[in-house]
Amino acid sequence: MFSDYSATELGSIFAMQGFAGLILFAVFLLMALGLAIIFGQMGVINMAHGEFMILGAYITYLTSNVFADYFPALFGGYFFVAMVLAFLAAAALGALVEWTVIRRLYHRPLDTLLATWGLSLLMQQSYRSIFGAREVGVEVPDWMAGSFQVTDFVELPVNGLFVMCIAVAVTLAVYLLMFRSSWGSRVRAVVQNRPMAGAVGINTAKMDRMTFALGCGIAGIAGSAFTMIGSTGPSAGQDYIVDTFLVVVFGGAASILGTVASAFSISQAQSTMEFFLGGSMAKVLTLLTVVIILMFRPQGLFTLKVRK
Amino acid sequence: MSAATARATNTDFVLAVEGLTVSFEGFKAVDDLSFYVDEKEIRVIIGPNGAGKTTVLDLICGRTKATEGSVKFRNKELTTLNEHEIVRAGVGRKFQTPSIYEDLTVFENLELCYPRGRNVFGALFFKRDQKVINKVRETAEMVNLLDQIEDSADLLSHGKKQWLEIGMLLIQDPALLMLDEPVAGMSVTERQQTAELLRRITADRSVIVIEHDMQFVAEIADHVTVMHQGKILAEGTAEKVKQDPKVIEVYLGH
Amino acid sequence: MSNFSLSNLMTRQDVLGFVVLALILLVVLPLSLDVMRLNQVGKYLSFAFVTVGLVLCWGYGGILSLGQGVFYGLGGYALAMFLKLEASSPENTSIQSTPGIPDFMDWNQITELPWLWEPFHSFGFSLLAILLVPTVLAYLIGFAMFKRRVSGVYFAIITQAISSILTILIIGQQGYTGGVNGITDLQTLMGWSIRTDYASYVFYFVGVALLFVCLFIAQFITKSKLGRILVAMRGQEDRVRFSGYDVANFKIFVFCVGAAFAAVGGAMFTLQEKFMSPSFVGIVPSIEMVIFCAVGGRLSILGAVYGALLVNVFRTVLGESFPELWLFAMGLLFVGVVLAFPDGLAGVYQKYAAPTVDRFLDKAPLFRRWPSSTSHSEPIKAS
Amino acid sequence: MTMHKQLTTGGATERWGLGKLKLLAASMVLAASANAATPPTSEVNTTGLAVTDDTVNVGILHSVTGTMALSEEGSVQAEILAIEQINEMGGVLGRQIEYIQEDGASDWPTFADRSSKLLRRDNVAAVFGCWTSASRKAVLPIFEQYNGMLYYPTFYEGLEESPNVIYTGQEATQQILAGLNWIAEEKDAETFYLLGSDYIWPRTSNKIARKHIEDVLGLEVVGEDYFPLGHTQFNSSINRIRLKKPDVVFASVVGGSNVAFYKQLESAGIDLVDGDMSLLTISVTEDEILGIGGRNIEGAYAAMKYFQSLDNPNNESFVKAFKERWGEDSVIGDVTQAAYLGPWLWKAAVEKAGSFDVDKVREASPGIELETAPEGYVRIHENHHLWSKTRVGEAQRDGQYKVVFETQELMEPDPFPEGYQ
């Protein structure tokens, strides 16, 4: 498969695909971070994760319309407002879902899967009823259109870079919050030993709700960011769910670093193979590789080895 | 190959543990441990919390894989075997918290442990014949559960769950029985009944018991092994280890 | 084998359940529905094969597979391949550039029947393939996963990924598989047209008969010691190991049984729908089948049949009159069942109706002496 | 959704002998008001279709839910509009058309299920519906078994010619050949890059395009590329395109992938307006541009038979009526217009046959002309496809196409093109 290309071309290809892979990496990372918190920390299998992302995307769409209609002068900056709103909306809905459904199911993880699948159907049809079945496009602000020319072949799209920046920022924020703040240590305490955490005065019910809301909120940010590079439709969320779970599981459920590493390796593998094998085969091979590695290392890439 | 493994040779012991080591992320929960158990001996392991007692049992029965060292049961290496193979070789294990099948009846709990039809098709075509029924009833009687043989196991009291678990081991007829705190959480009467039960069932097999209750230990033990920080601190009769100043310091001297 | 008498295999409630189901499927529905509706019911029943298998895997074994669509699809494809070859005789396909091969191959510039397709000229081979291909795949997946103790959520996610892989493969390799359209335009089975009303009736009854075969096998498994081992495993997997069982083998076994059931269902679907498409392989149908099972009752093999049937009837009724409401209703149903009725319809029946029925059976002459439970009420006596 | 379903005669009254009375009354009324436009039901319906003295039932079968709902919405609207307009003009053979709408739910087996309901339970005289090839393939056996008539609106891959289907969209050669000829000449193009979603229509289209480019035009195809349906990451393909530097990218990407593809193309610095590279799509109608955003696709060319901006009186009144019925913001794409033709073509065939019987309608169909089609003049070919012109449009920032080319002659439909297989 390499024989069709000259050595210099191959060099450029790998460089270009490396950058393309980085954008994919940012996408995967944003998708997976929220789930890493919800699934990794709480053990809840949130099949509606994709729909929370789509909520963020629709909020961004609405915000961009509001700005275009009422504050055209500020249009260049609408996206930052949209992202905050997307986070808040998704987090609020997440808290509501936790309160009505999830909190009754903490001792039945597989059932959270079924309930959240039902939830995802409800959300999809709500989007369809509210926003219509058609895909909606979000107007990208001017400063985000276009690209930087690095070499003849390598060109960096601004919106891709922007998504990368968001991914890095959100990852850092999650890391600081989960591992460097007292809030994070309380969350982890609840996860590791619920009765004990309750006994030392942590309001475990409240921590659960906030953790779930945080995960959903991050999904909202991810959805918001994706409007810059992709589309928004009522059922688009379903396309994300397999990839998202694989990234989290492959990384090792409880590890943020693992999620980063797994998002990186999966995206780079897929991006490079895509160039030579085409989209379908690249996807099949990537998924297959991940599944096989998981068979040999079910606990994922990164995990603490602990006494059972 | 470590020196520990090299030492492992054939012996007359039922169980020969030599150079056994396991580390979790660099922490050695069990560190170069060696001890031997005789035929029909009752060995009690004591030690403060975190000494590695339960881990030793886990290592012997295959629940945790050893980092180094060997465990030989009647000269058969156990560290390379799976749990069920170790069980089939004749090692039975009771857990610290009662571990029984709560969705099944007492009868079914015992029947399930009856050593026949242990592969898939054996289980599928397993026949509940008179021999099985008699054996189950016999065992239920031994552990004082004959009256409740039809009851669902989750209805049993805590103490009776412990007995049921012991019964489930007995019906396997193991040559080596390992009990992790068999009287924990029991009332005084239950405790006495359990001690009596243990004396009866240990008559023709080797037993390793983990226990905290020194009175109970003194009552049943042939030998006592004291563990501390993954190593053996002292070994001998109950009386002897009680006198050992090192033991008093780390364990009894509170 | 004297102890495998019917009274050991079934309680009187079970017998009643089987009889009622048989009456509904063999008498009530065929008499009250026209052939089009009966054909639809036949298709819904093909999902019941999957849900009965899921009761074994998930309800009993605790193994939640989100990839049952893979086995259903493989079973369906195996039969569709045979039927497609029959429909692609050189006479029927004379306008193609290469007559005698399936039309979609011709469209994809394939000029020779791929070797993989060759054996599907034989009906016997195809029948074997329906059963064996999914079962062997299930064995391989099960062996790889359960021996390494992948379980619970991880197993669910990996099976989901596998169904995703297979879907992409089928769609991507359309020259060999028919792609997203699936294998369509099936005409005859051994020269006998499958597109007549008469054929619809025949397939319906064949489907019901096969379903009962699967139900009896499932009943036998649940009432055997193997069934009790599965129940034991669900709560105390470790303890089962320490009772001397190789847990992985039991999981592999029920997973294979579930796969074989699903494959039969898929094949019955192909016969009744007259095509097979990758839309049954993906994650959405796979999860839906789990939901059917949950609605019916994950611990009841009969409940699973009703679950598959009722959810689909509900879907058709709502879908025909209020399509927008359908997803709302389905979503609410899932959330509601999980929250309020974790044991599904069967659980509701057990709780509210079963005691009354039992009292009634005490009086019924036919059932009075039939044991109300299969556990050892009489054989347990010491001799 | 609207259910314009009505009780057919028969049922309980018949059983009690009241049916006869009613029938007698009806025939008396008929006899009184009989005229040429309203022939008696017994004459126009000999096969038990849902035809009464003043109504006839037809079916509309599209996805209202699921992933395809966004594409099929326009077709439903167009079909309803056409039916309403026909009813206003007095209906078909003096009967008002009542439609029964069913949801295919973007799921092929559901399409099959619903089509058998329409044909067997509702006994509709014709069905307007389906969008994807897969859904058409799924319902085809049912239409053939129960002898129904399907009007299928989408441009598609060809390779099919069912007696039970009228294809109102273009088959692949009609759409592709003229477009390629035009762009090769207009842009002096020498190298082409073929790109598509991974299923039968793009693959067949690209096969035809490749044969045409290589064998007929004598030019070069430098790459061919497919992605899974629903794919949203196109950076790899875009990189490959940049490496190969083709003169023309020939794209048949469908669905949600489109939005991501054009957005990423634009942000990767490929300028379709002023750049060296041209893009010719056969899949992006005005409907899709709504989601993609006019600015992202500005400058791309599309080869189709219809654009909303077509300048002719038929189209003017069609667009006006459509917007009046479905809102000012509506856009009309190629498929929507083709769907609009369905009821009109059926009406013409029924009137020519003087009967609703499917066999007679089928017999009457070839040669049916429609002078009033928004796209201009169309005629049904022997092979059940339409003779139609092909146009090339250039995408504008406002989401419309500017027509830059139109074939002189009607293109002959050729679903099994010799030399292109």
| Residue range(s) in chain D whose domain bears CATH number 3.40.50.2300 | 12-170+316-387, 172-304+389-406
For residue A287, give every residue at least 6 positions away whose Cβ sits within 8 Å of its Cβ, in sequence order, or none: A242, A246, C161, C164, C165, C168
| CA distances for C377 relative to A100, B111, C7, C374, angstroms | 44, 15, 11, 8
CB pairs under 8 A between A and C: 119
- Token pair in block for residue B175: 């040559």
Q: Write down the pLDDT at residue C96.
A: 82
C241 and B82 within 8 Å at the Cβ level: the answer is: yes
Q: Which residues of C touch A295 (CB under 8 A)?
A: 144-145, 148, 150, 158
pLDDT tens per residue, range D314-373:
999 999 999 999 999 899 999 999 999 999 999 999 999 999 999 999 999 999 999 999
Quick check: B104 contacting C, CB < 8 Å?
A: yes
Whether B45 is in a domain gets the answer no
Query: What's the pLDDT score for residue A13?
Result: 77
SS3 of chain D: CCECCCCCCCCHHHHCCHHHHHHHHHHHHHHHHCCCCCCCHHHHCCCCCCECCCEEEEEEEECCCCCCHHHHHHHHHHHHHHHHHHHHCCCECCEEEEEEEEECCCCHHHHHHHHHHHHHHCCCCCEEECCCHHHHHHHHHHHHHCCCCEEECCCECCCCCCCCEEECCCEHHHHHHHHHHHHHHHCCCCEEEEEEECCHHHHHHHHHHHHHHHHHCCCEEEEEEEECCCCCCCHHHHHHHHHHCCCEEEEECCCHHHHHHHHHHHHCCCCCCCCCCEEEECCCCHHHHHHHCHHHHCCCEEEECCCCCCCCHHHHHHHHHHHHHHCCCCCCCHHHHHHHHHHHHHHHHHHHHCCCCHHHHHHHCCCCEEEEECCEEEEECCCCEEEECCEEEEECCCCCEEEEEECCCCECCCCCCCCCC
Rounded to a whole number of angstroms, the distance from the CA of C73 to the nearest CA of chain D is 13
Q: Which residues on chain C are in Cβ contact (under 8 Å) with D198?
A: 171-172, 174, 179-180
In a domain, A84, yes or no: yes
Look at residue B83 and give its three-state secondary structure: helix
As a whole number, the mean pLDDT across chain D is 87
CB D128 within 8 A of CB D74: no
pLDDT band at D26 (very low <50, low <70, confident <90, very high): very low
| CB contact (8 A) between residue B25 and residue A307 | no
Degrees, nearest 5: CA angle D78-D81-D85: 140
Higher model confidence: residue B144 or residue D350? D350
Give residues with Cβ within 8 angstroms of D89, minimum separation 6.
none
Mutation pick from D5, D60, D111, D120 vs chain C, by most beta carbons of C within 10 Å, is D120
Is residue A39 in some structural domain? yes
A34 in any annotated domain: yes
Q: How far is CA D233 from CA A23, B63, C41, C88, C300, in A?
A: 9, 45, 41, 38, 44
Mean pLDDT, rounded, for B1-10: 48
Q: What's the confidence (pLDDT) of residue C381?
A: 44
Task: Give exposure, A84-98, as e/b (b: 16+ Cβ within 10 Å).
Answer: bbbbebbbebbbebb
Number of domains in chain A: 1
- Structural domain includes residue A98: yes
D203 contacts in C (CB within 8 Å)? 107-108, 174, 179
Q: Which of A77-86, A135-144, C50-59, D4-13 has the highest mean pLDDT?
A: C50-59
Evaluate whether chains A and C are touching (3 or more beta carbon pairs less than 8 Å apart): yes
* CA–CA separation, C276 and C267 (whole Å): 9
When pLDDT is averaged across residues A64-91 and rounded to a whole number, the result is 90
In a domain, C381, yes or no: no
Q: Is residue B131, in this structure, part of any structural domain at all? A: yes
Contacts of B99 in chain C (CB under 8 A): 236, 238-239, 242
**What is the average pLDDT across B130-143?**
92
Residue at token pair 């089939």 = B88
D11 band by pLDDT with thresholds 50, 70 and 90: very low
Minimal Cα–Cα distance from A77 to chain B, Å?
A: 48
Q: Which residue of A has its CA nearest to D67?
A: A235
Chain A residues inside the 8 Å CB shell of C154: 249, 294, 298
* CB proximity under 8 Å: D 265-294 to A: 266-269, 287, 290-293
Chain C residue with minimum CA distance to B111: C225
Q: Taking a C-beta distance cutoff of 8 angstroms, is the pair D414, D331 a contact?
A: no
**Confidence (pLDDT) at B230:** 86
- Rounded to the nearest angstrom, the minimum Cα separation between D196 and chain C is 12
For residue D260, give the nearest of A24, C132, B180, C320 by alpha carbon: A24
Token output for C312: 């689909």
CB contact under 8 Å between A125 and C333, yes or no, is no
Selected residues 182-221 of chain D with any CB under 8 Å from a CB in chain C: 198-200, 203-204, 207
pLDDT, position B6: 43
Predicted confidence band of residue B5 (pLDDT cuts 50, 70, 90) = very low
Q: Which of D116, D204, D421 sits opposite C36 (nearest CB)?
A: D116
- The pLDDT of residue D37 is 57
Chain C residues close to D144, C-beta within 8 Å? 195
Report the 10 Å Cβ neighbour count for D220.
13
Inter-chain touch C179–D114, beta carbons under 8 Å? no
Q: Are C248 and C61 in contact (CB under 8 A)?
A: no
As for how many domains chain C has, the answer is: 1
Q: In Å, what is the CA distance from D413 to each residue of C323, D67, D177, D212?
A: 36, 30, 12, 16
Q: Do C163 and C262 touch, CB atoms closer than 8 A? A: no
| Residue D203 to residue C104, Cβ atoms within 8 A | no
Answer whether residue A210 shows pLDDT above 80: yes
The DSSP output letter for B213 is -
For testing contact with chain A, the best of C171, C298, C327, C341 (most A CBs within 10 A): C327
According to CATH, the topology of domain D12-170+316-387 is Rossmann fold (3.40.50)
The boundaries of the domain holding residue B146 are: 101-173
Categorize the per-residue pLDDT at D79 as very low, low, confident or very high, splitting at 50, 70 and 90.
very high
Mutate to test the interface with C, among A291, A292, A293, A308 (most CBs of C within 10 A): A291
Alpha-carbon distance C170 to C175, whole Å?
9
Range from B44-53, C255-264, C371-380, D109-118 that averages highest in pLDDT: C255-264
Question: CA-to-CA distance for D281 and D275, rounded, in angstroms?
Answer: 17
- Residue B63 predicted with pLDDT over 80: yes
- Residue C1's pLDDT is 37
CA distance D60 to chain C (A): 12
The distance of Cα A45 from the centroid of its chain, to the nearest Å, equals 14
Say yes or no: ipTM exceeds 0.90: no
Q: Which residue intervals of chain A are DSSP H helices?
A: 7-35, 42, 49-70, 78-100, 109-131, 158-179, 182-192, 194-199, 204-226, 241-251, 256-277, 279-296
Cα–Cα distances in Å, from D373 out to D126, D194, D316, D325, D389? 20, 32, 11, 18, 12
Q: B216 versus C131: which is more confidently predicted?
A: C131
Confidence of residue A27 (pLDDT cuts 50, 70, 90): confident
Cα separation, C65 vs C240, whole angstroms: 21
pTM value surpassing 0.90 = no
Q: From residue B194, how far is each of B143, B165, B197, B215 by CA, in Å? A: 9, 12, 5, 13
Paired residues of D411 in beta bridges: D388
> From the CA of C164, how many Å to the nearest CA of chain A?
8
pLDDT reading at B176 higher than 70: yes
Residues of the domain holding A199: 24-236
* pLDDT given for residue C77 in this prediction: 97
Q: Tell me the pLDDT of chain C (383 aa) as tens digits.
A: 334 466 677 888 888 999 999 999 999 999 999 998 999 999 999 999 999 999 999 999 989 999 999 999 999 999 999 999 999 988 888 878 888 899 889 888 888 999 999 999 999 999 999 999 999 999 999 999 898 888 788 898 889 999 999 998 998 888 899 988 899 889 899 889 998 899 999 999 999 999 999 999 999 999 999 999 999 998 888 889 999 999 999 999 999 999 999 999 999 999 999 899 898 888 889 999 999 999 999 999 999 999 999 999 988 888 877 877 888 888 898 899 989 888 899 998 988 888 888 888 888 776 666 666 654 434 444 43
Neighbours of chain A (3+ CB pairs under 8 A): B, C, D
Q: How many CA atoms lie within 13 A of C323 on its CB side?
A: 23
Q: Which of B54, B65, B96, B128 to mutate to test the interface with C (most CBs of C within 10 A)?
A: B128
Smallest Cα–Cα separation from C296: which of C27, C13, C16, C44? C44
Q: CB-based contact (8 Å) between C320 and chain D?
A: yes
3-state secondary structure chain C: CHHHCHHHHCCHHHHHHHHHHHHHHHHHHHHHCCHHHHHHHHHHHHHHHHHHHHHHHHHHCCCCCCCHHHHHHHHHHHHHHHHHHHHCCCCCCCCCCCCCCCHHHHHCCCCCCCCCCHHHHCHHHHHHHHHHHHHHHHHHHHHHHHCCCCCHHHHHHHHHHHHHHHHHHHHHCHHHHCHHHCECCCCEECCEECCCHHHHHHHHHHHHHHHHHHHHHHHHHHHCHHHHHHHHHHHCHHHHHCCCCCHHHHHHHHHHHHHHHHHHHHHHHHHHHCCECHHHCCHHHHHHHHHHHHHHCCCCHHHHHHHHHHHHHHHHHHHHHCHHHHHHHHHHHHHHHHHHCCCHHHHHHHHHHHHHHHHHHHHCCCCCCCCCCCCCCCCCCCC
Q: What average pLDDT does chain B have?
A: 86
- pLDDT for residue B221 is more than 90: no
CA separation (Å) from C31 to A223, C38, D10, D36? Answer: 52, 9, 21, 44
Q: Which string of DSSP letters, residue by residue, matches A168-179?
A: HHHHHHHHHHHH
Residue bearing the bigger pLDDT, D263 or D193: D193
**The pLDDT of residue D400 is above 80:** yes
B189 contacts: CB under 8 Å, gap ≥ 6: none
B145 domain-assigned: yes
A28 in a structural domain:
yes
Q: Cβ contacts (< 8 Å) between B118 and chain C: which residues?
A: 244-246
Is the pLDDT at B1 greater than 50, yes or no? no
CATH number for the D172-304+389-406 domain, one of 3.40.920.10, 3.30.230.70, 3.40.50.2300, 1.10.1740.10?
3.40.50.2300
Give the whole-angstrom CA distance, residue A294 versus residue A305.
Answer: 16
| Residue C123 falls inside a structural domain | yes
| Other Cβ atoms closer than 10 A to D242 | 19
Q: Judge: D259–A135 Cβ closer than 8 Å, yes or no.
A: yes
Q: Which of the pair, C107 or D104, is modelled with greater confidence?
A: D104
pLDDT given at position D3: 42
User: Which residues 296-355 of chain D have a CB within 8 Å of chain A?
Assistant: 296
- Cβ–Cβ below 8 Å for A279 and D226: yes
State which amino acid sits at residue D249: V
Cα distance between residue C87 and residue C271, in whole Å? 13
For residue A153, name the pLDDT band (cuts at 50, 70, 90). low
Whether the CB-CB separation of D394 and D405 falls below 8 Å is answered with no
Closest by Cβ to D3, choosing from C39, C182, C321: C321
Q: Among B24, B54, B93, pick the best mutation site for testing chain A contact (most A Cβ within 10 A).
A: B24
Q: Calculate mean pLDDT across residues D1-5.
A: 41
Residue of A nearest to B50 (CA): A307
Interchain proximity B25–A305, CB inside 8 Å: yes
For residues B234 and C166, give the distance between their C-alpha atoms in angstroms, rounded to a whole number.
60
Query: Which of A9-18, B244-253, D234-243 has the least mean pLDDT?
Result: B244-253
CB contact (8 A) between residue D235 and residue A135: no
